[in-house]
Structures are given as structure tokens and as C-alpha cells.
A and B are shown apart, each in its own frame.
Chain A
Amino acid sequence: EAQVTQNPRYLITVTGKKLTVTCSQNMNHEYMSWYRQDPGLGLRQIYYSMNVEVTDKGDVPEGYKVSRKEKRNFPLILESPSPNQTSLYFCASRRGTSGGAVEQFFGPGTRLTVL
């Protein structure tokens, strides 16, 4: 089954404790992306990757890091989490054409709480 998986699905942590949220897709997609979703703000893009070893900032990259060492995986790293990073996070992937006419597949989400 074609899917995007994220782990963990739920995480409660404390300020400053480094964490990684994993994302994996089995569709051989070139493009992967991370979003955060907060009440009243919709989805905001954090980082995206057009292919292996190619990443770029989205609209809200501060406080996050990503890496793309393999095509299928795109982990999101919070080096020193803060309470304002409490949010619902989604990973997504799609084929790597330039621009539109391509469906984006989303993972189930990771609900992160930073105390």
C-alpha cells in the first residue's frame, strides 16, 4: 500500500531535549516536505526536499533541521525544542515534477507537546 508513515504519532517532551520525528514514504517520490499545523493558522511549510541531499526552507524553518540522505526518508529534527513548537506535524511526499499537476500524499501526523 502506497503510504507516508511518521513516528512517533504522539510525543510529549521537555524544553531543550533534542528529538527527531521520522518520515518515510514507499512511493519512490523525489519531493518530500514537512508542515506544522496550528489552530487558526492552517498548514505552514517548514522544510522541503526536492531529492536526496537537496533541501530548502519553507515558510517557518526556524528551530528545525532536516536531512535527506535516502530517497524514502526525511526526518525532522528539533535540536532544542521550545514550547512554541508544540503543534501537529505532517510529512508529505509527491513525484518530483516542477510545480503543479501532481498530488501530494500526507502522513497521519505527529502531535508534539513541548513542556
Chain B
Amino acid sequence: LAKTTQPISMDSYEGQEVNITCSHNNIATNDYITWYQQFPSQGPRFIIQGYKTKVTNEVASLFIPADRKSSTLSLPRVSLSDTAVYYCLVDSSYKLIFGSGTRLLVRP
């Protein structure tokens, strides 16, 4: 099962773009990369998922290079409400492994 590595924490300011990178060197051919957001004392919430190249939705973009050994979650123009923990997850069949997550702090 692929294990993910992310920075423990990141700081940013309102209005900036934030990029969080996740390393998953042992990703398998059938695995997808998924990102979740979690606020304190709440369940994680799905943000975005991708297999390769670039995926974009209304809240984020996900960049995955050709070798798929890493991925980058991009949050455009963050606001204070984006302060949360962000988890990168390699979706390997049914046994899901979350990393320790990246704690993002957005300052005014």
C-alpha cells in the first residue's frame, strides 16, 4: 500500500495561492490520488481526486506529473476559512491509508 508524505504545516495569507505537495513513491497503477480537508472536530471532507495530469473543480486544482510519484493540491486565493488540515490519500482498493496531513494556517 502506498504511503504518503506531506509537509506538517504551512502558513499563508488571505488572497494568496497555496500549493501543498504530497509524495507517494510507491503508488500503484490502479491507484487514484485524493485530497480531503478537515476542520477541528469534524469529519474529513472530499476536495478533489485525480489519476494523472491536471484536475480542476470549483475549489481546487490537482496536478499530477507523468510518473505519478507526487501530486500538488493548489488552492487559489485562500481565505481565513481555508485554515484546516489537508490530507493526501492514495486510494488503494478498500484499505485506505491517510497520512498525517498538512496543517494550513491562513493569516489575515
Contacts and interface: CB of A to CB of B under 8 A. Distances in A.
Interface size class of A (residues with CB under 8 A): 20 to 34
A73 to B, nearest CB: 17
Contacts, number: 74
A21 interface: no
B25 interface: no
Nearest to B101: A42
Contact of A100 (B36, B49, B99, B100): B49
Interface string A19-51: 000000000000101010000111111001010
Interface string A99-115: 11111111111010000
Given A103-B49, A106-B44, A59 B32 contact: no
Contacts of A35: 98
Interface in B62-83: none
Contacts of A111: 41
Contact of B51 (A33, A59, A101, A105): A101
Given A43-B87, A45-B97, A106 B43 contact: yes
Given A99-B31, A99-B91, A42 B99 contact: yes
Contact of B41 (A92, A101, A106, A109): A109
B91 A43 contact: no
27 contacts: A4-B43, A31-B94, A33-B94, A33-B96, A42-B87, A42-B99, A42-B101, A43-B44, A44-B98, A45-B96, A45-B98, A58-B95, A88-B41, A90-B43, A92-B43, A99-B92, A100-B31, A100-B33, A100-B51, A101-B32, A104-B36, A104-B46, A106-B44, A106-B45, A107-B43, A108-B42, A109-B42
Interface of B: 30-34, 36, 41-46, 49, 51, 87, 91-101
